A and B are shown apart, each in its own frame.
Chain A
C-alpha cells in the first residue's frame, strides 16, 4: 500500500496548488473585467460621490494584490470574510447553501449512479438487440435536451397539470425528510435525466471494450452464462473508467446545477454564485469558485485512487 499512500499525498499537494491557482485566476478575471460591486449595487442610483463612498466603505479603493492576499490569508485561517453587498459572513451563507446543494446532488446521485450502471450492464447483455437500442435511444434523447427544457416540461406536467410535485423546491431546515424529498422531486428528476445518459453510455462502452479481451473468451469457454461473464469477469476490469466518468458526473451534479437551481428557485450554491457574479461580490465569487474547484479536484483524486485500487497490478506489486 505504500506507493499508493505516497500517491495520495502527491495528488493532494497538487490539488491544493491547483486550488490556489484557480482562486488567483478567478480573482484576476474579476479584476480585469469592467464594472465593480459598488456600481452593480447602486445601479440607477449611481452618482459619483456615493460610488466613491461605497467603494471606500467596501475597501475597493485599495490595490488588488493586497486584497487578494488578505483574502488568501483569510481562507488559510479558515475565514472567508464577509460579503461586500450584504455584510453577512460568507462562511455561514455558503454553509447553508452548500448543504442544500449537497442534499440535492446526493439524492440525484443515489438514483442516477446505480441506475446508469444497471442500464449499462443490461445494454451490454443485450448488445444490438432491442433493449440495448431502446436504452441508448432514450438516453441519447435525454442527453440532447437542454436541461432547462427538461425542467420546464416536467414542471408543466407534474406541477401545473397533475399537481403531483411542487413547481419550485421550497425546502427549509425544519422540514421532515419526506417533505423535503417531495419538494426536490422534480429537480432530482431533471438532474438524474441529465447525468444518467453520459454515465450509462460510458459504462456500456467501457464494458464492451473489456469484452474484447482474451480472458473474456476464457470465461465464455468455461461455459459461464453471458451475464455471469459480464459481471464476474468484465465489470471488475471496467471499474476504473466507470468510476472516472461517475466522478465527473458527480462533480457536475454539485457544480453544474446553476440552471436547475434557477428554474426551481432552489437555494443552492449555483444561485448564490450567479447573484454574486452579477453583483461583482468578489469574495463570494472567489469562495464559491474555490469550493467548486475543490469539489472537482477531490472527486478526481477519489476517481484516481479507486482506479488504482481496482488495478491488482498496483494493488499487489510484484
Chain B
C-alpha cells in the first residue's frame, strides 16, 4: 500500500488531519474503506498518546435510581461505571479473543467441564485490600445465589460447584462448555472484596479507575487508580454524564461540552458527521431487532405461515429507513459477524412477495388479520418498523394488524407472553450463550417457544466441543435450522453509533459493545 497513505494516517493520528479527510483521500487512492479503517486504528496506536486530561462522556440510560451494585446494573450508565471501577476475570477483546484481567490464565479439562483460573497476583482493591481467589469465589457465589436478582443469574445456572484454593479459582460445570471464560466475561461479574456480600453498592473494585463522585442520574466521576497493576489509562479522570435526552446529548457534543456521546440517533448521524470537529463511529454489533412468533401457538405453529412472514419482510428497506444504514440486514438467526465462529456462507434471505404469497397460500390461513403487538420501547423505531412490515406484507397479500401496546409493562405483559410481537436482543459475547439464553428448550427467555430436542443436542455438543472447526460446522447447522424453521423474524442488526470529538485519539472499533465495549476511557487519550 502506498507510502502516502501511511504518511496521512500518521498525520491523522497526530491530529493534523481529520479522519474524514483521510477517508476521502483513501477513497481517492482506491483503497477500500475497511483497509483504510484498519490502517487508521493501527496508526492511531502507533502514534504517541498524550497523557492526562479529564474526559467527559455523555451517556443515555441513567436514572437517579441507579446504584453501583454490579448485580443490579441493567442500563448503559451503570455498565460504563462498572467498566471504570471494576474488572472481571477476563474480558473479550475486539478481535473476539480472551483478554485476561483478574485471571492470568485458564485451564480446561478435556470435555470442558472443569475450568481452573489462575488468579493474578498483586491486584489491589481501591480500599487497599489485595485481591484473593476467595474474593473471586464470593463474588461468583453472590451472583449465582437464586434469591439474588443478579443480571448474571442466568449465566451462573450451568455451574455445579466452585472452589478457591491458593491462587486458583475452579469452576465445575454439569455439562461441558467451551465458552465458559466468555460467559464469565459478563460485565456484572466484577470482582468485589468479599464478593460485595456486606456492601454491594460500595463501588470498590480492582479497575483502572476509582470512584470519585457518584450522583445517580446525574454524573459519575472516576479518577485513575495509581496502584492499578495493568496498563495505565492515558487520561487522569473520566466523567460519565447522564444525558438521556437525545437532543441535549447531541447539543452537548456539538457545543464541545463532552468528548463522546453514545446512542447517536441514526437519523442525525449523517448530519452530525458533517460537523467539522466531530466523527461518527459506527460498529456492527451483535444487537438485533426481531419480530418473534411462538412456534407452538396457532397460527404460527404452521411452518408455511412462518416462512410466508419471513419472506414478506423487506430487510433492506428496514435497515435503510429505521437504521438509516447504520446496521446490517439479518438472516432470521441471531448470529452475525460480531460472533466468533460465524458462518458467513449461509445464503441471505431476500424480500420475495411471490414466495411469501405462495407459502401463505400453502399455509391455508383463513386470511383473518394476523395481530402483531409492538411498543415504542420494544426497540427504537419499532412502531415505524412494524408499519413498514405491514406494508411489505400487504404487497404479498398477507394481512397484518398492528396493535400498539403501552411501553410500561411491555416486557412483563406482552413480550414472552403474546404469540407475535416485536423485541430486541443486545446479543451475547458468544453463540453458545445467545442460543442458551433464548433457544434452548429449557431457557427462561425462550421467547419463540423453540423447543426442538435435535437443536438442544447440537447446542450441547457444540458447547463441549473444543475443536473450533467442528464447532463452527455445528453452529452453522443450527443457524440454518433456525433460519428455515425457527420462530424469529430478524430483519436487522443494529450498529453501535457514537459521536466522538476529533480531539479524542486512539479509538478502536469494538463489536462487543458501545464505547469500545466500555473501555474507551481506558484506551483513548485527549489531544490538546
Contacts and interface: CB of A to CB of B under 8 A. Distances in A.
Interface of A: 34-35, 39-47, 49-50, 53-54, 57, 83, 85-88, 93, 96-97, 152, 155-156, 159-160, 163, 166-168, 170, 172, 262-265, 267, 271-272, 275-276, 278-279, 281, 284
A281 B65 contact: yes
A172 B251 contact: no
A22 B96 CA distance: 56
Interface string B203-222: 00000000001011111000
Bin the interface of chain B by size.
35 or more
Given A85-B67, A265-B245, A272-B64, 9 more contacts: A41-B65, A86-B69, A93-B216, A96-B215, A167-B255, A262-B244, A263-B245, A265-B248, A275-B64
19 contacts: A35-B408, A42-B149, A43-B74, A44-B415, A45-B74, A85-B66, A86-B65, A152-B247, A159-B251, A163-B256, A167-B251, A168-B257, A262-B244, A265-B248, A267-B215, A271-B64, A271-B218, A279-B63, A281-B65
A265 B64 CA distance: 12
Nearest to A57: B149
B345 interface: no
Contacts of B162: none
A168 B217 contact: no
A45 B201 contact: no
B444 interface: yes
| 7 nearest CB pairs, A to B | A86-B67, A85-B65, A167-B251, A267-B218, A275-B63, A44-B411, A159-B255
Nearest to B415: A44
B65 A167 contact: no
A281 B64 CA distance: 11
A44 B412 CA distance: 7
A234 to B, nearest CB: 44
Nearest to A174: B213
Nearest to A96: B215
A45 B411 CA distance: 8
A147 B65 CA distance: 26
A97 B219 CA distance: 13
A160 B251 contact: yes
B467 interface: no
Contacts of B460: none
B284 interface: no
A272 B215 CA distance: 11
Nearest to B247: A152
A297 to B, nearest CB: 25
Contacts of A43: 74, 411-412
B39 interface: no
Contacts of A263: 245, 247-248
A93 B257 CA distance: 25
B219 A170 contact: yes
A39 B72 CA distance: 13
A155 B243 CA distance: 15
A20 B252 CA distance: 41
Interface of B: 63-67, 69, 72, 74, 146-149, 151, 153, 201, 213, 215-219, 241-245, 247-248, 251-252, 254-257, 408-409, 411-412, 415, 444
Given A86-B65, A275-B217, A276-B65, A160 B149 contact: no
Contacts of A34: 409
Nearest to A100: B218
Contacts of A163: 255-256
Contacts of A166: 255, 257
A146 B372 CA distance: 35
A271 B248 CA distance: 14
Nearest to A164: B255
Contacts of A46: 411-412
A44 B248 CA distance: 27
A160 B252 CA distance: 8
Nearest to A262: B245
A276 B63 CA distance: 9
A264 B248 contact: yes
Nearest to A38: B149
Contacts of B215: 96, 267
Contact of B149 (A53, A152, A170, A272): A53
Contact of A50 (B149, B247, B255, B256): B149
Given A262-B245, A263-B245, A265-B242, A167 B216 contact: no
B251 A168 contact: yes
A272 B67 contact: no
A167 B250 CA distance: 9
Given A53-B147, A159-B255, A168-B248, A279 B65 contact: yes
Contacts of A275: 63-65, 217
A40 B407 CA distance: 11
A47 B148 CA distance: 13
Contacts of A265: 218, 241-245, 248
Contacts of B252: 167-168
A160 B254 contact: yes
Given A39-B412, A53-B149, A271-B64, A172 B254 contact: no
B254 A272 contact: no
From B64, B257, B408, name the one whose CB has the most chain A CB atoms within 10 angstroms. B64
A174 B411 CA distance: 41
A167 B257 contact: yes
Nearest to A268: B218
Contacts of B213: 172
A156 B247 CA distance: 10
From A53, A86, A156, A275, name the one whose CB has the most chain B CB atoms within 10 angstroms. A86
A39 B255 CA distance: 38
Contacts of A47: 444
Contacts of B65: 41, 83, 85-86, 275-276, 279, 281, 284
A97 to B, nearest CB: 8
A156 B408 CA distance: 32
A87 B66 CA distance: 9
B287 to A, nearest CB: 13
